[in-house]
Amino acid sequence: MVLTKKRILVLGGGFAGVDCTRKLENYFESNSDIEITLVSDDNFLLFTPMLPQIVAGTVTPRHIVMPLRALCKKARIYESVVRDIDPIQQHVTLEGTPEKIGIRIHYDYLVIALGSKTNFFGLNNVERNSFTMKTLADAISLRNRIIDMLEQAENEKNSKIKERLLTFVIVGGGFAGVETAGEINDFLNEAISYYHNIKLVDVQVILVEAVGTILQGFNESLSKYAHNKLEKNGIKILLQHAVTSFDGKNVTIKKLPSTSSNVKHEVTIDSHTLVWTAGVTPVEIIQNSAFKLKNGKIIVNEFLEIPNHPEIFAIGDCSQFDREDVNKFPPTAQLAEAHAKLAAYNIKQSIESKEKKKFVYKWKGQSAIIGKHYGIAESMGIKITGFWAWVLWRNYYLNKMPNIEKRIRVWLDWNIDLFSRVDISRYGFKRDTSKEYRELDEVDDVW
């Protein structure tokens, strides 16, 4: 039994934060003494695994976003940005806007699930000129850019300029980079049928990866299959290369030394479009927090608690275990979901003064799409390639969507796409600018 009212505050509207909130709602569905609050900088959950399909137009943008208020019906929701976390006073301060003063929310239990942002490794001109694949706006902006390049190239007489317009560079050979490269390539191969002056040989998609293989977390044979299939589909893959500069017209790439050669050299690729998917880093509020960090992430114990603060949990991309042997898994939505379930369970156990569980991760497998009708997958020692891996990816992620209506809409999008020509319409959308948040001179206290 809960003797006094408890306030649970969850920060972050991504997979980890939403899954944790929904689990807490289930635990305390009929308990009016538990108050759950969710803070997110958007009012929707973005289903990020399908972002590359927004670029290709396979899926409609609004079908991969789910309103938080439809998913989390018991929780109180704030759409805002976290300005400060005070673990001593046990409150979180949210930013104000020109129309609204800031808010300070007090808590008894806090779940930090603020995710990550794109890591440009200090390459300022790359950050300034490249596209990323973290948000819905990113995917739509990239789609519009590709169509812009096709429209300009169609009537371009200068062969050098035309080559630059039709060269697309994707940096990062992980899930996001490989799947984005595959979707862009498929889209271009179909889209050029609308353009009389653009031939298939004019278009070039280049995937750049710093290590010696793509999709590094997969079995070696699956990574090799994916590499060969992408190259067969026309994608050029540069392994052991790193981008050092991009000014909006030229991509400078450095050959990294390998075990067989210590020779370094730089090459320049003429391109107007670079997509950066080469890594993530925690957001500033985490990096500037009072918590102990490792690799920029909050250190947690085996219960997902922050040491010396058993009332605070950190989950998802912004957390890292204090034991190295538990940090071997990549930061995927599957891992975030496992974090979320345990954090919610341990909060329930703590409130009820019962024994908490330690984190034990049961890896279910992984899959990736490498182009239309092709994929790779592995689970329980079984390796699958080709069409059935592609089907497995679709079935798995379709069933992971928490909203049945959106599931149906995506399924319809996929089936319509099988029997229709590619859509080259540009979305009437421009990359969103960040909200104008004002400095806080006063805040509302929420107890």
Residue-wise DSSP of 266-319: EEEEE-SEEEE-S-EEE-HHHHTSSS-EETTEEEE-TTSEETTEEEEEE-GGGE
Per residue in 274-283, pLDDT (tens digit) is 999 998 888 9
No. of H helices and E strands in the chain?
12, 28
Q: In whole angstroms, give the CA distance from residue 196 to residue 202.
A: 12
What does pTM read for this prediction?
0.90
- Model confidence at 97, pLDDT cuts 50, 70, 90, reads low
Backbone angles phi, psi at 344, to 5 degrees: -60, -45
Asked if pLDDT for residue 335 goes beyond 60, the answer is yes
A 10 A CB-CB count for 299 gives 17
- Model confidence at 437, pLDDT cuts 50, 70, 90, reads very low
**Whether the Cβ atoms of residue 180 and residue 138 lie closer than 8 Å to each other:** no
Give the three-class secondary structure for 107.
coil
Asked if pLDDT for residue 121 goes beyond 80, the answer is yes
What is residue 192's DSSP assignment?
A: G
Question: Helical H runs in 355-443?
Answer: 387-400, 404-418
Please choose, from the candidates 43, 84, 97, the residue with its C-alpha nearest in 3D space to the C-alpha of residue 67. 43
- pLDDT, residue 258, reads 57
List of residues 6+ apart from 233 with CB closer than 8 A: 182, 185, 186, 189, 371
| Structure tokens given for 132 | 């990323």
Using the Cα atoms of residue 145, residue 149, residue 150 and residue 155 in order, give the sign of their dihedral: positive
List of residues 6+ apart from 102 with CB closer than 8 A: 83, 93, 94, 95, 96, 440, 442, 443, 444
Q: In whole angstroms, give the CA distance from residue 214 to residue 223.
A: 6
- pLDDT, residue 208, reads 98
Give the three-class secondary structure for 91.
strand
Pairing of strands 241-246, 204-209: unpaired
- Model confidence at 438, pLDDT cuts 50, 70, 90, reads very low
A 10 A CB-CB count for 68 gives 21
Q: Please identify which residue in the block is written with the tokens 């899954």.
A: 19
Percent of the chain's residues with pLDDT above 90: 79
**Whether the Cβ atoms of residue 212 and residue 220 lie closer than 8 Å to each other:** no
Q: In whole angstroms, give the CA distance from residue 136 to residue 118.
A: 14
For range 96-122, the mean pLDDT:
88
389-to-172, 368, 372, 373, 392 alpha-carbon distances in Å = 22, 8, 11, 9, 5
Q: In whole angstroms, give the CA distance from residue 132 to residue 193.
A: 27
For range 197-209, the mean pLDDT:
97
For range 340-365, the mean pLDDT:
94
Q: In whole angstroms, give the CA distance from residue 93 to residue 236.
A: 47
Question: Residue 6 forms beta bridges with which residues?
Answer: 34
- pLDDT, residue 287, reads 87
**Whether the Cβ atoms of residue 290 and residue 274 lie closer than 8 Å to each other:** no
> Rounded mean pLDDT of the chain?
91
Q: In whole angstroms, give the CA distance from residue 266 to residue 445.
A: 56
Please choose, from the candidates 421, 396, 391, the residue with its C-alpha nearest in 3D space to the C-alpha of residue 57. 421
What are the structural domains of the chain?
6-41+80-118+281-363 (3.50.50.60), 124-278 (3.50.50.100)
Per residue in 53-68, pLDDT (tens digit) is 999 999 999 999 999 9
Per residue in 141-174, pLDDT (tens digit) is 999 999 999 999 999 999 999 999 999 999 999 9
